[in-house]
Amino acid sequence: MTQKPLYILVHPEDNVAIVVNSGGLPPGTEFECGLVLTDFVPQGHKVALADLDEGASIIRYGQVIGTAARPVRRGAWIEESLVRLPQAPDLDTLPLATAVPPDAPALEGYSFEGYRNPDGTVGTKNVLGISISVQCVAGVMDFAIERIKKELLPKYPNVDDVVALNHTYGCGVAINAPGAAVPIRTLQNLARNPNLGGAVMVVGLGCEKLQPERLLPAGVEPSIVTLQDERHQGFGDMVASILEMADRRLAQLNERRRETCPASDLVVGLQCGGSDAFSGVTANPALGYAADLLVRAGATVMFSEVTEVRDAIHLLTPRAIDEETGRALIREMRWYDDYLETGSADRSANPTPGNKKGGLANVVEKALGSIAKSGTSPIAGVLSPGERATRKGLLYAATPASDFICGTLQLASGCNIEVFTTGRGTPYGLAMAPVIKVATRTELASRWHDLIDVDAGRIATGEATIEDVGWELFRLILEVASGKKQTWADHWGLRNALTLFNPAPVT
């Protein structure tokens, strides 16, 4: 059946809309409202709903996403080159805690089956993680992990996996530079992720700047293998020491059992990648609705990606629970502004070519769609990159927009499950935590039927509402956290490497 011409208007003040139809629509297409296309408009791209003079504001989400580079006729395709990038919001004049949403009614009675840890956190997986203190030992670690999985893991059926916390840090770095605090605390907190069950084990070389002891929390009995230790007579001894250490910890993890835990023990990371113009009207709002449900259930929810928040920060600081939290949001935006300037870059470096092909003209439009993941709850706290979450509610965890760096930092902040929305598609996955993938378009969900977990594209065609998909996501999060359902990424064993954010100098 041929689908009738459809477009999505987000806000009544918008003077552009996006085309819904797969494959786009040709010139001469007439919509039910009487709008006639003067150009071919690809799926997800913007069509002018009114004549626009040069310099006129282009409005989407009820916000100015740019100005017209030249006159635009009603019904024309507003492609990327027609949209001039506006100035970013001034960080010195933002309203702070002026529109704090009221607390929504508590959502009670929801639980999941998780692994409770001695520190009170709860895992959604039971994974042995082994940290390294320096990249020099990564090859040995990979060799040992292969042996552990083949020889030891089958003896411990209650352990889900063994993961090397490999990275490219540890030596040849300015270890005491201010920016070095970011990768170091990230590595320290990765080892404390709830899904690792409190295991803190490190394999080091011995001569590195980042000594293994710095990765151990205070009061924890050292569990370190140092390859340069004189007791090791060759490579075989090194590997044997790692296997011996792993065997002891696997035996401990194997004693753990899932138990019923309240939904408030969830720490959910929210991400988007391969975004398109549908992200802000289907998948991200649905995820935002689910985020509100999680907050009402007492959970911790983290949204991130500084460059995909910066141009919408004026919509977030009023939601900060107090002025201190609002100032913390501004602090992270300003830090990243300075970081980009130091690298002779600016916010125009985002979005990607794929984002633009999917209809996103610039970073302003992308940011307005990105923040929809945050829902409508008050922003209860702000985390610097790699900082561990210690409170409940909606948190802003500052990270770069890079999918794999953001994922690594959210794991360090303590997320035990992640939800990832995508319009263009990505096979992204994490070894340490389940990743639920949500498609913005039904076309992608159908084509990637064995990679996408939830189709939010039904919202665009009217087959489902944001509320419908939001509840679907909420329930799926509980099922995946309980081990009752497996994500496609876990089914195929798709694992992105841990990727540290290191703003400090490399020597």
Mean pLDDT of 194-215: 92
Instruction: Please check the confidence at residue 228 and state whether its pLDDT lies above 80.
Output: yes
Strands of the 259-262 sheet, one edge to the other? 122-123, 111-116, 259-262
pLDDT of residue 222: 72
What is the 3-class SS of 24-62, one letter each residue? CECCCCECCCCCECCCCECCCCEEECCCECCCCEEEECC
CATH of the domain spanning 112-253, picked from 3.40.50.2300, 3.40.50.720, 3.30.1330.120, 3.40.50.2000: 3.40.50.2300
Residue 366: burial class (beta carbons within 10 Å; 0-12, 13-18, 19+): buried
Residue 387 has pLDDT above 70, yes or no: yes
Q: Percent of the chain at pLDDT above 90?
A: 95
Q: Average the pLDDT over 306-327 and give the result.
A: 98
Instruction: Give the pLDDT mean for 328-341.
Output: 96
End-to-end Cα spacing for the chain: 62
Look-up of token digits 């959210």: 410
* Per-residue pLDDT at 2: 56
Which residues are within 8 A (CB) of 81 and not within 5 positions of it... i.e. 6 or more apart? 69
Instruction: State how beta strands 7-8 and 16-19 pair.
Output: antiparallel
Indicate the pairing of strand 259-262 with strand 111-116. Answer: antiparallel
Residue 1's pLDDT band, with cuts at 50, 70 and 90, is very low
* Confidence band for 166, pLDDT divided at 50, 70 and 90: very high
Distance CA 104, CA 169 (A): 43
Instruction: Give the confidence band of 82 by pLDDT, cuts at 50, 70, 90.
Output: very high
User: Is the pLDDT assigned to residue 221 strictly greater than 90?
Assistant: no
Phi, psi (deg, nearest 5) at residue 251: -60, -40
> Where are any strands of DSSP class E within 259-387?
259-262, 267-272, 300-303, 379-383
Report whether 298 contacts 285 (CB < 8 A).
Answer: no
- Which pLDDT band holds residue 218 (cuts at 50, 70, 90)? confident
Indicate the residue type of 214: R
Residue ranges of the chain that CATH labels 3.40.50.2300: 112-253
Burial class (CB in 10 A: 0-12, 13-18, 19+), 342: exposed
Lowest mean pLDDT among 51-60, 150-159, 191-200, 256-265: 191-200
Average pLDDT, the chain: 96
Average the pLDDT over 47-65 and give the result. 98
Q: Give 396-435 pLDDT, tens digit per residue.
A: 999 999 999 999 999 999 999 999 999 999 999 999 999 9
Give the whole-number percent of the chain exceeding pLDDT 70: 99
Is the full-model pTM beyond 0.75?
A: yes
Residue 45: its pLDDT value, please? 98
Q: How many CA atoms lie within 13 A of 264 on its CB side?
A: 13
State the sign of the Cα–Cα–Cα–Cα dihedral 286, 290, 293, 295.
negative
Helices (H) and strands (E) in the chain, counts: 11, 21
pLDDT for 217 beyond 80: no
Q: Which CATH class is domain 1-84?
A: mainly beta
Mean pLDDT of 379-402: 97
Distance CA 285, CA 440 (A): 10
Q: Name the DSSP letter for residue 78.
A: E
Ramachandran region, residue 433 (left: φ > 0; alpha: ψ -120 to 50; beta: rest): beta
Gap between the Cα atoms of 118 and 200, Å rounded: 13
Going by pLDDT thresholds of 50, 70 and 90, the confidence category of residue 200 is: confident
DSSP code, position 306 = G
Is residue 65 within a helix (H) or strand (E), and if so which, with residue range?
strand 63-68
Element (H, E) at 68: strand 63-68
Q: What token pair was written down for 506?
A: 């490399």
pLDDT given at position 216:
85
By C-alpha distance, which of 111, 105, 109 is closest to 263? 111
Contact 125, 489 (CB under 8 A): no
CATH 2.30.130.110 in the chain, residue ranges: 1-84
